[in-house]
Amino acid sequence: MGLWPPADDDGLLSELGAALRDSGPPPEEFLAAGYAALTWRTVDAELAIAELTFDSACDPEPAGLTRSTGSTRALAFHAGPVVVAIEVTATGIVGQLSPARGGRVVARTPHGPYEEVAVDPVGFFSLGPPPSGPVQLHALTSDYAVATSWVPLG
């Protein structure tokens, strides 16, 4: 074992001391990244969680509806008066928000967002095919913010 503290650490401490004494303003990109990180720290607390109430992969179709069988999967999520209804096919996801409002939908995996799209004024939106694994949709409108429960779609 060599001398403690090593000579390289002394140099490091000297540079650290000089950096602390010269406290100029931080670079703008550092500030922007810090502010962006803070805006997302409470996003989950601000969202209502819409629970899965219907999944055509598990539940029988309601009586009276005529639907062709195929590879379409229908899901409905509810959070109070807000409904997020989606259909999942091999080509993507189409959905509608109710009450109908324009806004944005962000599709997320456990690794983060993978797609963000606009919602038109009547509540319709369209996403590309979902990745494998669980997905959560975040719907943000002028009147409400809601996130679906996590569900595997791909």
Q: List, for residues 86-112, the tens digit of each pLDDT value.
A: 999 989 999 999 999 999 999 999 888
Give kind and range of the element (H or E) at residue 116: strand 112-119
Identify the pLDDT of residue 103: 96
pLDDT mean over 32-58: 76
Residues 6+ apart with CB under 8 A from 53: 76, 77, 78
Task: Give Cα 136 distance to the centre of its chain.
Answer: 6
pLDDT mean over 36-54: 74
Q: Is 112 left (phi over 0), alpha (psi -120 to 50) or beta?
A: left
Say whether pLDDT at 41 is over 90.
no
Identify the pLDDT of residue 4: 42
Distance CA 150, CA 54 (A): 14
**25 and 84 belong to one structural domain:** no
pLDDT mean over 53-75: 73
Range of the domain at 34: 7-39
Confirm whether 100 is domain-assigned: yes
**122 and 100 belong to one structural domain:** yes
Mean pLDDT for the chain?
A: 83
**98 and 125 belong to one structural domain:** yes
Please state whether the predicted TM-score (pTM) of the whole model is above 0.75: no
Confirm whether 2 is domain-assigned: no
Identify the pLDDT of residue 136: 95
Task: Please say whether the beta carbons of 86 and 95 come within 8 A.
Answer: yes
Residue 96 belongs to a domain with what CATH number? 2.60.40
Instruction: Summarize pLDDT for 26-40 with one digit per residue, the tens.
Output: 788 877 777 777 765
Helix locations, 3-150, DSSP H: 7-21, 28-39, 43-46
pLDDT mean over 127-137: 93
